[in-house]
Amino acid sequence: MIILHERGGSKIRVLLIVLIGNLSVCIIKILIGLASGFMFIVADGIHSLSDTLTNVIGILSLKLAMKKPDEKHPYGYEKYETIGALIVGCFCLFLSFEVLKEGIVYLINPIAEFGNVIIAYVAMGISTLMSLLIYVYENRAGRRLGSDLLVADSEETKSDIFLTLTVIAGIYLTDAGFIYVNGILTLIISLLIFRTAINIIKSSSKILTDVNVIPREKIYEVVMSHPEVRFCHAIRSRGRPDAIYIDLHVGVDPNMTVERAHDVVSHEIKLMLRKTFPGLKCVNIHIEPDNEQARKRMRSVFKEVDY
């Protein structure tokens, strides 16, 4: 437990450093965008703000994730991270519409004169380099600490690097006389923010509505590899990739003692599943005798089909 606590603390320290870096990139983009008149730079800065908010949510979720299950939360606190991600998704959705309105305004009334283009180039170059350093640092730390959260967040930062390169191209085109590029790129960035929001909301909703985390076929394959398992059905999984809960029914020799079925076979199956799926947190196994009645049973007391 001490090791887990230390690893959680290390992940939080990584996110704090990444938070400072992302916030700096966000401020640079917004200030330079406002000073130069390139509104798509401001829009990109607002998009970078979502990374900062994600870092804050990540830090809070890791704090909660380090808490032990208790009487009120017997399944743990992991889904608080999902709720936080859902909030971030809704915020990004709001931002996308705000940026969309700005893009429409600059298409209707394009700006023909801009501020210092050289400063805009230098600022965007610096922010691109900072984002690249953030990506490399967070990705390596995530893989070292075995953190899906850090790795996923670093991949989002990598996509922002390509977006920033698009913005730099927009500066060049706008300065060359294509005044409508300012509005067009602002609209494009609003759509990218919208797509990010939808992806966050969709992935969060799957977790909160208990969609299967692991394909049933993969769980079935692992369980059936045990030499004393006769059949397996009613396989269900839910939760998050780093906190998975599995329920299943297992058929064994009807002459097997309850003690062996529970203390040996069931225990060995749990060890096999935990080895195959590192994010596994709990497995509930219902033992059944391998007879004709059990094999024909396709429904339970509570539902028509026993999934």
Question: What tens-digit pLDDT sequence spans the chain (307 residues)?
Answer: 444 455 667 878 888 898 888 888 888 888 877 777 666 677 777 767 777 877 887 787 778 777 788 888 888 877 877 777 777 778 778 878 877 887 787 788 765 555 667 777 777 788 888 888 988 998 888 888 766 667 767 766 776 776 677 677 777 777 777 777 767 877 887 787 788 778 878 888 888 888 999 999 999 999 999 999 999 988 999 988 778 999 999 999 999 999 999 999 999 999 999 999 988 889 999 999 988 776 666 555 555 556 5
Domains of the chain with CATH codes: 2-208 (1.20.1510.10), 216-296 (3.30.70.1350)
pLDDT number for residue 56: 83
CA gap 70, 81 in Å, rounded: 17
Nearby residues of 246 by Cβ (< 8 Å), 6 or more positions away: 214, 219, 235, 236, 237, 273, 280, 282, 283, 284
Q: What proportions of the chain, in percent to the nearest 5, are helix, strand and coil?
A: 70, 10, 20
pLDDT number for residue 2: 41
Which amino acid is located at 169 in the chain?
Answer: A
Q: Sheet with 231-240: list strands edge to edge.
A: 231-240, 243-252, 280-289
pLDDT number for residue 264: 94
Nearby residues of 1 by Cβ (< 8 Å), 6 or more positions away: none
Handedness of CA 93, 95, 96, 100 (dihedral sign): positive
pLDDT number for residue 4: 44
Q: Can you give the C-alpha Rg of the chain in angstroms?
A: 25
pLDDT number for residue 283: 94
| Closest C-alpha to 182, from 119, 107, 128 | 107
